[in-house]
Amino acid sequence: MTGWDGNAVAGLLYDLFGQEMTGVGATCAHCGRRSLLARTRVFRGPGTVLLCPACGGSMLVVCVRDGIACVDAPGFATLAVPLREPVSLRPVGDQSRPRTA
């Protein structure tokens, strides 16, 4: 099993942070490199682990059990979580409706 990247945990991160997070940059506490969360490497076992794509160091460990998420962040030197979603083009589509705030 060769694993996934951060795109695979977009939904999980949304649950944890209340917003789309894969476009957010995080600085690795081990090597100092900044990467978008989409570009981390992801391994799934009993829990989900996000690894720094540059050094392989563990950045975030999430275990979900019975609807409770245990989060351990051994590898974020910084993670800037926007308090409001960045303004983006409204997606288009026949089934679309404007998103309500």
Partner 1 sequence: MAALLRRLGWLTGRVVRLVRETPRSRTIGLIVPGWPGHHPGQHVDLRLPGAERSYAIASAPEDRYLELTVARVAGGEVSGYLVDDLREGDRLELRGPLGADFRWDATSGGPLLLIAAGPGIAPLRSMLRHHRAIESEVPVRLLYSVPDALALPYPEEIMRFATSDQVDVNLTYTRRAPARWNGYRRRIDAPMLAEVSWPPAEHPVTYVCGPTTFVDTAAALLVAAGHDPDGIHAERFGGGR
Ligand X SMILES: Cc1cc2nc3c(=O)[nH]c(=O)nc-3n(C[C@H](O)[C@H](O)[C@H](O)COP(=O)(O)OP(=O)(O)OC[C@H]3O[C@@H](n4cnc5c(N)ncnc54)[C@H](O)[C@@H]3O)c2cc1C
Q: Which residues bind ligand X (CB under 6 A)?
A: 1, 4, 7-8
Contacts 24+ apart (CB under 8 A), 29-36: 29/57, 29/59, 29/74, 29/75, 29/76, 29/77, 30/55, 30/57, 30/75, 31/55, 31/57, 32/77, 36/6
Footprint on residues 7-26 left by partner 1 (CB under 8 A):
7-8, 10-11, 14-15, 17-24
Note whether 16 and 71 are within 8 A (CB). yes
Nearer to Zn ion, 23 or 53 (CB): 53
Q: How far is the CB of 35 from Zn ion (least distance, A)?
A: 8
Binding mask 53-92 for partner 1 (x = CB under 8 A): ------------------------------xx----xxxx
Give the Cα separation of 4 and 7 in Å (integer).
8
Nearer to partner 1, 4 or 30 (CB): 4
Q: How far is the CB of 3 from partner 1 (least distance, A)?
A: 6
